[in-house]
Structure 1
Amino acid sequence: DVPNRGWTKGEIVNTFRDIFKTNAFGKKLILIVILDEIDILLDKDGDGILYTLTRTDNVSVLSISNYLDFKNLIKSRVTSSLNDKEIVFPPYGADQLSDILSERAELAFSDGVLNDDVIPLCSAMAAKEEGDARYALDLLKNAGELAFDEDSEKVTSEHVKMAKDRIEHNKVTEIIQTLPLQQQRVLEAILNLTKQDEEISSGKLYEEYKELSKKDAVTYRRIFDFINELELLGIISTNTISRGRGKGRTNIIKLQCNENLLEATLFSI
């Protein structure tokens, strides 16, 4: 019986061990544990759960991650008993994405509603986004919704292109709205310099940022962290150029999202 206070992790593990030892169901038992996005689990829990599982008899662990280097988060005490076999799945290609979308489209759309070029276009666009199946499905879903809103009898390639714009709009807006205040100020500084048609070096960016932040400004070194984080989010890009002998190298920063969208989002917060 489970007590009112619940079970501790140790009690749960010991219960499984007892079941395996007593062979309670009259057959050899194997517990298969599937850990999806294991890198997030390891980041929060360390490798405590894996340590316990790899030292429990009759337990097999299947871990899934989008990152090839997630095993760097696992200490040697665990990897020694993990005895793992690694299988790498490449990103989906356009043909595979097309198969996925065709299967879903049979369930979601009436016959003849999709123009012949809709699924190939969604697949091709998603293949450019590292073979992201979720993105392909989002494109198809949004294209269908846009066609429905227009009371159109067909979903066309134009609806797919509009869907792409809508998804990118929502993505950029959500990212900007959830950024910390200081990063929003850095973006505002980049926007101001972009509108002035200025070449944006890190030094020039910091001066503009200080004007916006006044006494609340962070250090110049911290700005580099913000630039790296914004680049990882795909909102800006950086390019290191050489100024010639004796003048060193400079980072040039450019916006990678629509100026009007960025301005509207920043000033609506």
Structure 2
Amino acid sequence: MIDTLLMPLQFAFMQKAFLIGAIVAVPTGLLSCFLVLKGWALMGDAISHAILPGVVLAYILGFPLILGAFGAGMATALATGYLAENSRVKQDTIMGVVFSGMFGLGIVLYTSIHTNVHLDHILFGNMLGVGTEDLWTAGMIALVVSGALLLKWKDLLLHAFDPAQARASGLAVGLLHYGLLTLLSLTIVATLTATGLILAVALLIAPGAIAFLITRSFGRMLAISVLVCAVSMLLGTYASFWLDSAPAATVVLVLTAIFLVAFIWRNIATRRASRMGVPG
């Protein structure tokens, strides 16, 4: 029985899939909390999709795909931030326009390439084809992003809740704003191999949303979000081995199931507390 349960660990590609999942879980889990509190769910979605033209251009020009992805992500983040600050149009509308334009450009470039090499893994992920270089890249990005978030989490928290108060307190609001966008772009680059562009948004939103339902303490929210993300990555990857399914999609299904359980639990707890006259 134990030998059967541990069978996935006997394969090198599964070991690397588990490892990339554990690495990616830390920065995505931490960043997810800030995106949820700041209301930037669409920003993560927009940047993850808008990276596509950068990846394709990098492939055409012979540059590392990661450089193209990061360049496109930063261009999207900066353009969105600039247009939102200098236009009467609301930020979600700006994100919709920029995201759809960049994604459309990426699709046009993608379909114009005539080669035997497919870039499908950029869209849908390729956890079972992770190489040593991918692990090092994801590890370095995870270390930088996680370190920056943990170092400046109090400033970022104040900026997320009340930018005006953050500015009045002497914080560099602009630096925090674009710094968070930079970390978001880096994190999406780190998740390219694990989940691809289309499913990366689930890792950036679901863990924070689940933690938000479970606790009201931001410190515990960060810990719970990382734990939920790590468990989901490992369970989803493990289940995909036996279900013969795509690991990234299976991870997202696990995250969705956990969110539904947390949602139901929170509703039950709130109703019970309201009947007892205690705040939920």
TM-score, normalization by structure 1: 0.28
Larger relative contact order, structure 1 or 2 (CA cutoff 8 Å, min sep 6): 2
| More strand, by proportion | 1
Work out which of the two has the higher radius of gyration on C-alpha atoms and give 1 or 2. 1
TM-score, normalization by structure 2: 0.27
| More helix, by proportion | 2
